[in-house]
Amino acid sequence: MPPAFKTVALIGRYKSQDVAGPLVELGEFLGAHGCTVLVDAETVAASGVTAFAAASYEDIGARADLAVVLGGDGSMLSAARWLAPFGVPLVGVNQGRLGFMTDIAAGRMRESMAALLAGRYTLEERTMLAATLERAGETILSTVALNDVVVSKGAAGRLIEILVHIDGQFVYDLRSDGLIVATPTGSTAYALSSNGPIIQPGVPAIALVPISPHTLSNRPIAVTDSAAIVVTVKRAPGARLHYDGHPQNELVEGDRVKLERAPRRARFVHPPGYDYFAMLREKLHWSESLF
Task: Render pLDDT for 137-166 as a digit per residue (tens, 0 to 9).
Answer: 999 999 999 999 999 997 777 899 999 999
| Residue pair 126/277 in contact by the 8 Å Cβ criterion | no
CA torsion, points 38, 39, 45, 49, in degrees to nearest 10?
Answer: -90
From 18, 59, 65, 73, active-site residue: 73
3-state SS, the chain, equals CCCCCCEEEEEECCCCCCCHHHHHHHHHHHHHCCCEEEEEHHHHHHHCCCCCEEECHHHHHHHCCEEEEEECHHHHHHHHHHHHHHCCCEEEEECCCCCCCCCEEHHHHHHHHHHHHCCCCEEEEECCEEEEEEECCEEEEEEEECCEEEEECCCCCCCEEEEEEECCEEEEEEEECEEEEECCHHHHCHHHHCCCCCCCCCCCEEEEEEECCCCCCCCCEEEECCCCEEEEEEECCCCEEEECCEEEEECCCCCEEEEEECCCCEEEEECCCCCHHHHHHHHHCCCCCCC
| Residue pair 50/65 in contact by the 8 Å Cβ criterion | no
One domain, residues 13 and 121: yes
**Does residue 114 lie within any of the structural domains?**
yes
**Does residue 177 lie within any of the structural domains?**
yes
One domain, residues 82 and 133: no
The pLDDT value given to residue 108: 92
One domain, residues 120 and 160: no
One domain, residues 121 and 200: no
Q: What is the CATH number of the domain that holds 136?
A: 2.60.200.30
One domain, residues 222 and 112: no
Domains: count for the chain = 2
Q: What is the CATH number of the domain that holds 48?
A: 3.40.50.10330
The pLDDT value given to residue 159: 92
**Does residue 290 lie within any of the structural domains?**
no
One domain, residues 66 and 113: yes
Q: Angle, nearest 10°, between helix axes 20-32 and 109-117?
A: 30
Task: Render pLDDT for 3-34 as a digit per residue (tens, 0 to 9).
Answer: 999 999 999 988 777 889 999 999 999 999 99
One domain, residues 137 and 217: yes
Q: Which domain holds residue 19?
A: 7-126+265-284
The pLDDT value given to residue 290: 53
The pLDDT value given to residue 26: 97
The pLDDT value given to residue 289: 59
One domain, residues 122 and 223: no
Nearest to 99 by CA among 287, 286, 288, 283: 283
One domain, residues 271 and 251: no
Q: What is the pTM of this model?
A: 0.93
Q: Is 173 noted as a catalytic residue in this protein?
A: no
N- to C-terminal Cα distance for the chain?
51
One domain, residues 92 and 171: no
One domain, residues 30 and 116: yes
Residue ranges in the chain whose pLDDT is less than 50: none
Cα 164 to Cα 95, 208, 231, 256, 258: the distances in Å are 38, 10, 5, 10, 10
Count of alpha carbons within 13 Å of 279, Cβ hemisphere only?
19
**Does residue 289 lie within any of the structural domains?**
no
**Does residue 99 lie within any of the structural domains?**
yes
One domain, residues 143 and 239: yes
